[in-house]
Structure 1
Amino acid sequence: MKKAVFDHQAKPAFIKYCIFFVLLIASTQVFAQQTHGRVEVIRDPLVDTLIAKRYEMSSASGVPVAFSSYGYRVQFFSGSNRKDAYNAQARLQSEYPELRTYIIYNEPNFKVRAGDFRTRLEAQKLMQELRASFPSLFIISEKINLPKTDTND
Protein backbone atom coordinates (compact mmCIF):
# COMPACT_ATOMS: atom_id res chain seq x y z
CA MET A 1 0.00 0.00 0.00
CA LYS A 2 1.32 3.42 -0.97
CA LYS A 3 1.47 6.28 1.44
CA ALA A 4 -0.05 9.56 0.40
CA VAL A 5 2.53 12.05 -0.65
CA PHE A 6 1.77 15.71 -0.05
CA ASP A 7 3.39 18.43 -2.01
CA HIS A 8 4.94 20.83 0.47
CA GLN A 9 4.71 23.62 -2.10
CA ALA A 10 0.92 23.27 -2.42
CA LYS A 11 0.16 24.20 1.20
CA PRO A 12 1.57 27.78 1.07
CA ALA A 13 -0.03 28.33 -2.34
CA PHE A 14 -3.41 27.20 -1.00
CA ILE A 15 -3.11 29.60 1.94
CA LYS A 16 -2.23 32.47 -0.46
CA TYR A 17 -5.34 31.74 -2.56
CA CYS A 18 -7.53 31.59 0.55
CA ILE A 19 -6.20 34.92 1.81
CA PHE A 20 -6.70 36.44 -1.66
CA PHE A 21 -10.35 35.33 -1.82
CA VAL A 22 -11.06 36.48 1.74
CA LEU A 23 -9.66 39.93 0.94
CA LEU A 24 -11.61 40.02 -2.32
CA ILE A 25 -14.88 39.20 -0.55
CA ALA A 26 -14.15 41.66 2.27
CA SER A 27 -13.43 44.47 -0.19
CA THR A 28 -16.76 43.95 -1.95
CA GLN A 29 -18.50 44.18 1.42
CA VAL A 30 -16.70 47.44 2.17
CA PHE A 31 -17.70 48.96 -1.16
CA ALA A 32 -21.27 47.77 -0.73
CA GLN A 33 -21.60 49.84 2.47
CA GLN A 34 -20.65 53.13 0.82
CA THR A 35 -24.00 53.81 -0.82
CA HIS A 36 -25.85 56.80 0.56
CA GLY A 37 -29.62 56.90 0.88
CA ARG A 38 -31.92 59.84 1.22
CA VAL A 39 -34.82 59.84 3.64
CA GLU A 40 -37.56 62.36 3.13
CA VAL A 41 -39.88 62.96 6.07
CA ILE A 42 -43.30 64.28 5.16
CA ARG A 43 -44.90 65.75 8.25
CA ASP A 44 -48.59 66.43 8.62
CA PRO A 45 -49.26 70.16 9.25
CA LEU A 46 -51.67 69.13 12.01
CA VAL A 47 -48.68 68.00 14.09
CA ASP A 48 -47.28 71.55 14.09
CA THR A 49 -50.68 72.89 15.10
CA LEU A 50 -50.92 70.47 18.03
CA ILE A 51 -47.39 71.28 19.20
CA ALA A 52 -48.15 75.02 19.05
CA LYS A 53 -51.40 74.55 20.98
CA ARG A 54 -49.68 72.53 23.70
CA TYR A 55 -46.93 75.14 23.98
CA GLU A 56 -49.54 77.89 24.19
CA MET A 57 -51.39 76.07 26.98
CA SER A 58 -48.25 75.44 29.01
CA SER A 59 -46.89 78.97 28.61
CA ALA A 60 -50.24 80.57 29.51
CA SER A 61 -50.34 78.92 32.93
CA GLY A 62 -46.61 79.21 33.56
CA VAL A 63 -46.51 75.57 34.61
CA PRO A 64 -45.82 72.72 32.17
CA VAL A 65 -49.03 70.84 31.41
CA ALA A 66 -49.10 67.07 31.83
CA PHE A 67 -52.04 65.46 30.10
CA SER A 68 -51.46 61.93 31.33
CA SER A 69 -49.74 60.26 34.22
CA TYR A 70 -49.86 57.02 36.12
CA GLY A 71 -52.78 56.62 38.47
CA TYR A 72 -55.67 54.30 39.29
CA ARG A 73 -58.92 53.14 37.78
CA VAL A 74 -61.63 50.85 39.09
CA GLN A 75 -62.38 47.85 36.90
CA PHE A 76 -66.02 46.91 37.39
CA PHE A 77 -66.65 44.51 34.50
CA SER A 78 -64.69 41.79 32.73
CA GLY A 79 -66.23 39.36 30.29
CA SER A 80 -66.23 38.09 26.74
CA ASN A 81 -69.62 39.53 25.74
CA ARG A 82 -69.42 42.94 24.09
CA LYS A 83 -73.06 43.77 24.70
CA ASP A 84 -72.72 43.07 28.43
CA ALA A 85 -69.68 45.35 28.59
CA TYR A 86 -71.56 48.23 26.98
CA ASN A 87 -74.58 47.60 29.23
CA ALA A 88 -72.35 47.72 32.33
CA GLN A 89 -70.81 50.95 31.08
CA ALA A 90 -74.25 52.50 30.47
CA ARG A 91 -75.45 51.41 33.91
CA LEU A 92 -72.49 53.08 35.60
CA GLN A 93 -72.82 56.21 33.45
CA SER A 94 -76.46 56.57 34.50
CA GLU A 95 -75.47 56.47 38.20
CA TYR A 96 -72.27 58.56 37.84
CA PRO A 97 -72.55 60.79 34.73
CA GLU A 98 -69.47 62.85 35.66
CA LEU A 99 -67.23 59.76 35.79
CA ARG A 100 -65.22 58.78 32.72
CA THR A 101 -65.44 55.14 31.69
CA TYR A 102 -63.18 53.16 29.38
CA ILE A 103 -63.79 49.90 27.52
CA ILE A 104 -60.65 47.89 26.83
CA TYR A 105 -60.61 44.85 24.59
CA ASN A 106 -57.89 42.27 25.23
CA GLU A 107 -58.81 39.27 23.15
CA PRO A 108 -61.13 37.55 24.07
CA ASN A 109 -62.23 39.74 27.01
CA PHE A 110 -63.80 43.15 27.37
CA LYS A 111 -62.86 45.13 30.47
CA VAL A 112 -64.70 48.22 31.62
CA ARG A 113 -62.87 50.64 33.88
CA ALA A 114 -63.93 53.89 35.47
CA GLY A 115 -62.23 56.98 36.80
CA ASP A 116 -58.95 58.81 36.56
CA PHE A 117 -57.70 58.81 40.13
CA ARG A 118 -54.33 60.11 41.23
CA THR A 119 -54.31 58.16 44.49
CA ARG A 120 -55.35 54.67 45.40
CA LEU A 121 -57.48 56.07 48.23
CA GLU A 122 -59.73 57.94 45.77
CA ALA A 123 -60.19 54.73 43.76
CA GLN A 124 -61.03 52.79 46.93
CA LYS A 125 -63.77 55.29 47.79
CA LEU A 126 -65.43 54.70 44.43
CA MET A 127 -64.94 50.97 44.82
CA GLN A 128 -66.85 51.02 48.13
CA GLU A 129 -69.71 52.94 46.51
CA LEU A 130 -69.93 50.51 43.58
CA ARG A 131 -69.65 47.30 45.61
CA ALA A 132 -73.45 46.87 45.86
CA SER A 133 -74.05 47.29 42.11
CA PHE A 134 -71.00 45.48 40.75
CA PRO A 135 -69.77 42.40 42.65
CA SER A 136 -66.30 41.97 41.13
CA LEU A 137 -64.27 45.16 41.47
CA PHE A 138 -60.54 45.67 41.11
CA ILE A 139 -58.27 48.67 41.39
CA ILE A 140 -55.96 48.87 38.39
CA SER A 141 -52.80 50.96 38.20
CA GLU A 142 -52.29 52.33 34.69
CA LYS A 143 -51.73 55.48 32.69
CA ILE A 144 -54.65 57.85 33.22
CA ASN A 145 -55.93 61.07 31.72
CA LEU A 146 -55.32 63.65 34.39
CA PRO A 147 -58.50 65.17 35.76
CA LYS A 148 -58.77 68.94 35.50
CA THR A 149 -57.85 70.67 38.72
CA ASP A 150 -59.62 73.76 39.95
CA THR A 151 -57.08 76.60 39.90
CA ASN A 152 -59.35 78.97 41.86
CA ASP A 153 -58.60 77.30 45.22
Structure 2
Amino acid sequence: MKRISCIIFLLFLLISGGGISAQISSEKVTTIFDDLQEPGFRKGQVIVNQSSAIRNLVGARMYGENVEKTDTETFLKVQGFRTQVFSGNNQRKSKDEAFRKEKEIKEMFPDVPTYVTYTAPFWKLRVGDFRSHEEAYHMMRLLMEAFPSYGKEMYIVREEIKIPLN
Protein backbone atom coordinates (compact mmCIF):
# COMPACT_ATOMS: atom_id res chain seq x y z
CA MET A 1 0.00 0.00 0.00
CA LYS A 2 2.83 2.40 0.86
CA ARG A 3 4.52 1.66 -2.47
CA ILE A 4 1.37 2.52 -4.43
CA SER A 5 0.83 5.78 -2.54
CA CYS A 6 4.49 6.73 -3.14
CA ILE A 7 4.13 6.06 -6.87
CA ILE A 8 0.93 8.11 -7.04
CA PHE A 9 2.63 10.96 -5.17
CA LEU A 10 5.61 10.92 -7.54
CA LEU A 11 3.31 10.89 -10.58
CA PHE A 12 1.43 13.84 -9.12
CA LEU A 13 4.69 15.75 -8.71
CA LEU A 14 5.72 15.03 -12.28
CA ILE A 15 2.35 16.05 -13.68
CA SER A 16 2.11 19.23 -11.60
CA GLY A 17 5.78 20.12 -12.22
CA GLY A 18 4.70 22.89 -14.58
CA GLY A 19 3.57 24.97 -11.60
CA ILE A 20 7.03 25.00 -10.05
CA SER A 21 8.92 28.21 -10.64
CA ALA A 22 12.33 29.49 -9.64
CA GLN A 23 14.23 32.66 -10.14
CA ILE A 24 16.63 32.03 -13.01
CA SER A 25 19.52 34.32 -13.72
CA SER A 26 20.58 35.16 -17.26
CA GLU A 27 24.07 33.69 -16.85
CA LYS A 28 24.66 30.03 -17.72
CA VAL A 29 24.86 27.79 -14.66
CA THR A 30 26.67 24.49 -15.10
CA THR A 31 24.88 21.70 -13.29
CA ILE A 32 25.64 18.06 -12.67
CA PHE A 33 23.37 17.23 -15.59
CA ASP A 34 25.64 19.19 -17.93
CA ASP A 35 28.74 17.47 -16.54
CA LEU A 36 27.20 14.04 -17.07
CA GLN A 37 26.47 14.82 -20.73
CA GLU A 38 30.10 15.66 -21.56
CA PRO A 39 31.89 12.94 -23.49
CA GLY A 40 34.70 11.28 -21.60
CA PHE A 41 33.13 11.82 -18.20
CA ARG A 42 34.28 8.64 -16.51
CA LYS A 43 34.07 5.63 -18.84
CA GLY A 44 30.43 5.22 -19.81
CA GLN A 45 27.80 7.38 -21.38
CA VAL A 46 25.02 8.72 -19.20
CA ILE A 47 21.78 10.01 -20.64
CA VAL A 48 19.61 11.99 -18.23
CA ASN A 49 15.96 12.53 -19.11
CA GLN A 50 14.06 14.92 -16.88
CA SER A 51 11.70 17.84 -17.21
CA SER A 52 13.06 21.32 -17.69
CA ALA A 53 11.47 22.32 -14.35
CA ILE A 54 13.79 19.93 -12.50
CA ARG A 55 16.80 21.10 -14.52
CA ASN A 56 15.97 24.72 -13.59
CA LEU A 57 15.74 23.87 -9.89
CA VAL A 58 19.14 22.19 -9.65
CA GLY A 59 21.65 24.68 -8.31
CA ALA A 60 18.97 27.33 -7.73
CA ARG A 61 18.66 28.85 -4.29
CA MET A 62 15.12 28.76 -3.01
CA TYR A 63 14.94 30.53 0.34
CA GLY A 64 11.42 31.88 0.54
CA GLU A 65 10.38 32.93 4.03
CA ASN A 66 13.65 31.72 5.58
CA VAL A 67 15.46 34.89 4.51
CA GLU A 68 15.70 37.90 6.82
CA LYS A 69 16.99 41.20 5.49
CA THR A 70 18.33 44.18 7.41
CA ASP A 71 19.65 47.47 6.01
CA THR A 72 23.16 46.08 5.53
CA GLU A 73 22.94 42.27 5.59
CA THR A 74 20.83 39.32 4.50
CA PHE A 75 20.52 36.23 6.70
CA LEU A 76 19.31 32.70 6.08
CA LYS A 77 17.38 31.29 9.06
CA VAL A 78 18.01 27.56 9.60
CA GLN A 79 17.97 25.08 12.46
CA GLY A 80 21.28 25.05 14.31
CA PHE A 81 22.82 25.27 17.75
CA ARG A 82 23.77 27.88 20.34
CA THR A 83 25.53 27.72 23.68
CA GLN A 84 23.25 28.81 26.50
CA VAL A 85 25.33 30.63 29.10
CA PHE A 86 22.67 31.96 31.46
CA SER A 87 19.02 31.50 32.36
CA GLY A 88 17.29 33.14 35.30
CA ASN A 89 13.73 33.91 36.38
CA ASN A 90 14.27 36.73 38.89
CA GLN A 91 12.68 39.58 36.90
CA ARG A 92 15.06 42.48 37.62
CA LYS A 93 18.19 40.68 38.81
CA SER A 94 18.24 38.14 35.95
CA LYS A 95 17.90 40.84 33.28
CA ASP A 96 20.86 42.77 34.69
CA GLU A 97 22.92 39.59 35.05
CA ALA A 98 22.17 38.48 31.48
CA PHE A 99 23.31 41.82 30.04
CA ARG A 100 26.38 41.93 32.33
CA LYS A 101 27.47 38.48 31.21
CA GLU A 102 26.80 39.40 27.58
CA LYS A 103 29.09 42.42 27.93
CA GLU A 104 31.87 40.29 29.46
CA ILE A 105 31.60 37.70 26.70
CA LYS A 106 31.57 40.41 23.99
CA GLU A 107 34.80 41.84 25.42
CA MET A 108 36.52 38.43 25.30
CA PHE A 109 34.91 37.17 22.02
CA PRO A 110 33.91 40.25 19.96
CA ASP A 111 33.21 38.30 16.75
CA VAL A 112 30.76 35.82 18.29
CA PRO A 113 27.10 36.93 18.23
CA THR A 114 25.23 36.99 21.55
CA TYR A 115 21.48 36.96 22.14
CA VAL A 116 19.69 38.07 25.31
CA THR A 117 16.03 37.04 25.20
CA TYR A 118 13.09 37.15 27.54
CA THR A 119 10.53 34.36 27.43
CA ALA A 120 8.34 34.72 30.48
CA PRO A 121 9.52 34.22 33.16
CA PHE A 122 13.11 33.54 32.00
CA TRP A 123 15.92 35.83 30.85
CA LYS A 124 18.38 33.85 28.71
CA LEU A 125 21.80 34.54 27.25
CA ARG A 126 22.77 32.41 24.27
CA VAL A 127 25.97 32.64 22.28
CA GLY A 128 26.79 31.87 18.65
CA ASP A 129 25.18 30.67 15.44
CA PHE A 130 26.51 27.17 14.88
CA ARG A 131 25.49 24.67 12.19
CA SER A 132 26.70 21.64 14.18
CA HIS A 133 26.59 20.50 17.78
CA GLU A 134 30.39 20.09 17.70
CA GLU A 135 30.95 23.77 16.85
CA ALA A 136 28.65 24.84 19.69
CA TYR A 137 30.40 22.45 22.07
CA HIS A 138 33.80 23.88 21.10
CA MET A 139 32.52 27.38 21.88
CA MET A 140 31.13 26.16 25.20
CA ARG A 141 34.57 24.76 26.13
CA LEU A 142 36.21 28.11 25.25
CA LEU A 143 33.65 29.97 27.35
CA MET A 144 34.18 27.58 30.28
CA GLU A 145 37.92 28.22 30.14
CA ALA A 146 37.44 32.00 29.94
CA PHE A 147 34.63 32.15 32.53
CA PRO A 148 34.88 29.16 34.91
CA SER A 149 32.18 30.53 37.22
CA TYR A 150 29.59 30.30 34.38
CA GLY A 151 30.46 26.67 33.62
CA LYS A 152 27.79 24.82 35.56
CA GLU A 153 24.99 26.73 33.82
CA MET A 154 26.20 26.20 30.25
CA TYR A 155 24.75 23.72 27.80
CA ILE A 156 23.99 23.38 24.09
CA VAL A 157 20.52 24.22 22.75
CA ARG A 158 18.94 23.61 19.36
CA GLU A 159 17.53 26.84 17.95
CA GLU A 160 16.87 28.72 14.73
CA ILE A 161 20.11 30.50 13.81
CA LYS A 162 21.05 33.19 11.30
CA ILE A 163 23.69 32.52 8.62
CA PRO A 164 24.91 35.64 6.76
CA LEU A 165 24.46 35.41 2.96
CA ASN A 166 26.49 38.53 2.05
Classify the TM-score, shorter chain: 0.5 to 0.7
Tell me how far apart the structure 2 counterparts of residues 129 and 104 of structure 1 sit (CA, whole Å): 22
Tell me how far apart the structure 2 counterparts of residues 102 and 59 of structure 1 sit (CA, whole Å): 36
**Cα deviation per residue 1:113-139 (whole Å; 9 max; x = unaligned)?**
010000001001001111131221110
Is 1:138 the equivalent of 2:155?
Answer: yes
Is 1:72 the equivalent of 2:81?
Answer: yes
Count, aligned residues: 94
Q: 1:89 to 1:68 in 2, by over 3 A?
A: same
The residue type paired with residue 122 of structure 1 is E
Secondary structure in 2 matching 1:146: strand
Is 1:124 the equivalent of 2:132?
Answer: no
Percent identity between matched residues is 30
Structure 1 gap ranges (5+): 1-54
Is 1:112 the equivalent of 2:125?
Answer: yes
Alignment of structure 1 residues 4-153 onto 2, 5 Å: 63-64=60-61, 67-79=76-88, 80=90, 81-132=94-145, 133=147, 134-135=150-151, 136-148=153-165
Q: Cα offset for 1:148? A: 5.0
Tell me how far apart the structure 2 counterparts of residues 129 and 75 of structure 1 sit (CA, whole Å): 13
Q: Show structure 1 runs of 4+ deviating over 3 A.
A: 58-63
Q: Cα offset for 1:106? A: 1.5
**Cα deviation per residue 1:63-111 (whole Å; 9 max; x = unaligned)?**
4156110000000011132111100110110010001111111112100
The residue type paired with residue 78 of structure 2 is S
The residue type paired with residue 163 of structure 2 is L
Secondary structure in 1 matching 2:112: coil
Please name the residue that 1:12 is paired with.
none
**TM-score computed with the length of structure 1 as normaliser:** 0.54
Cα RMSD (Å) of the superposition? 2.7
**TM-score computed with the length of structure 2 as normaliser:** 0.50
Tell me how far apart the structure 2 counterparts of residues 115 and 147 of structure 1 sit (CA, whole Å): 13
The residue type paired with residue 93 of structure 1 is K
